[in-house]
Amino acid sequence: MASGPSVISREAGTSSPPAKPVRRRPSLSHILIAVTVFLAFGLNYLALQNRDAEVQVAVAAEPIAEGAVLTAEALRFVPVAADFEALESLLVEDDLTEMEGRIFARSIPSGGLIDAAALVDAGVEDGHRAMSIPIAIEHAVGARIVVGDRVDVITVVDGVASFVATDLAVIAHAGAEAGSLATGAYHVTVAVDEEQALALAEAIAAGSLEVVRSTGAAPVSGPGD
C-alpha cells in the first residue's frame, strides 16, 4: 500500500512559540562615550573640590633685596593646596594688610615663596629715625649682622671704652657683595631716637667705633640708663 505525503496539521488557534528577544551587547563606541562622560563628571567634581581647598600665597613678583619694605606691588599670589605642609610658615593673601610695611631680613629671588619669618618689624615706628653707621667690617662682627638683629655701639675715647647706644634694631646693612670682603668699608642702618642719633653722630666723628651684635643677649646699661 502506497503511503501519501505526510501532512502536519495544526489545531485551529495555535501559533508558533514567541522568539526569545535578542540581547545586544553594547558596542565599543558606546562604552567609550560612557567612560568619557564619567571621567568628565569626576574631573569636574575634583576641580571644584580643589578650588575650594586652595589658599593664595605670596611670591616675589621680581627679585626683592634684603632690607626692602614689603608692599603689595612687590608680590603676586599663586594658589596652593590648603593641606600644603609648609603653608603655616608662608605669607598668605589674608595676612598682607597686617604684614605690609615690614622689612625683608633676606633677599628673595623672583618667583620665590615669601616665608613669614623673612619679614621683621621696620624698627622706625613710634617716632624713631633711621641712621647709617659707617664702620670697617672687622669692627662689625665680620659683616655677619642681618636685618632684625639688635646691636650695641661702643666708642673709645682716650683709651676708655663706653657704650654710645644699646639694643638698636638693625633695619638695613651693606649688601652681600661688600660683606664678602675680609676688610673694608661697611655700614649698618639702625633705628634711633633723638638722643641716640646725636650720640652716634659724635662717636662717628671721633672715628673709633665698635658695633656689637647683641641679639638675644641680656641688656646692658647705656648712656642715660
Ordered structural domains, the chain, with CATH: 54-120 (3.90.1210.10), 129-213 (no CATH)
Question: How would you classify residue 221: left for phi > 0, otherwise alpha for psi between -120 and 50, otherwise beta?
Answer: beta
| pLDDT digits 0-9 by tens, 84-135 | 888 888 999 988 888 887 888 778 899 999 988 888 776 665 668 888 898 8
Helix (H) or strand (E) holding 58: strand 54-60
Of residues 32 and 75, more confidence is placed in: 75
> What's residue 35's pLDDT?
53
For the segment 13-34, what is each residue's pLDDT rounded down to a tens digit?
555 555 555 556 656 665 556 5
> If we measure between CA atoms, which residue out of 172, 157, 171 comes closest to residue 208?
157
Q: What is the largest CA-CA distance in the chain?
A: 161
- Residue 177: what pLDDT? 46
For residue 133, give every residue at least 6 positions away whose Cβ sits within 8 Å of its Cβ, in sequence order, or none: 153, 187, 188, 189, 190, 200, 204, 209, 211
Is the confidence at residue 178, as pLDDT, over 50? no
In this structure, of 57-71, 184-198, 211-225, the range with the lowest mean pLDDT score is: 211-225
Residue 224, pLDDT > 60, answer no
pLDDT score at 162: 92
Backbone angles phi, psi at 196, to 5 degrees: -65, -40
How far is 87 from 210, CA to CA, in rounded Å?
Answer: 41
Q: What pLDDT sits at residue 165?
A: 94
Read off the pLDDT of each residue in 30-50 and give the average, rounded to a whole number: 54
* Backbone φ and ψ of 112, nearest 5°: -75, 145
- Residue bearing the bigger pLDDT, 187 or 19: 187
In whole angstroms, give the CA distance from residue 63 to residue 60.
6
Band (pLDDT 50/70/90 cuts) for residue 180 is very low
Predicted local confidence at residue 167, as pLDDT:
92
pLDDT of residue 174: 73
- pLDDT for the residue numbered 3: 52
**Alpha helical stretches, state H, the chain:** 28-52, 96-99, 176-179, 194-206
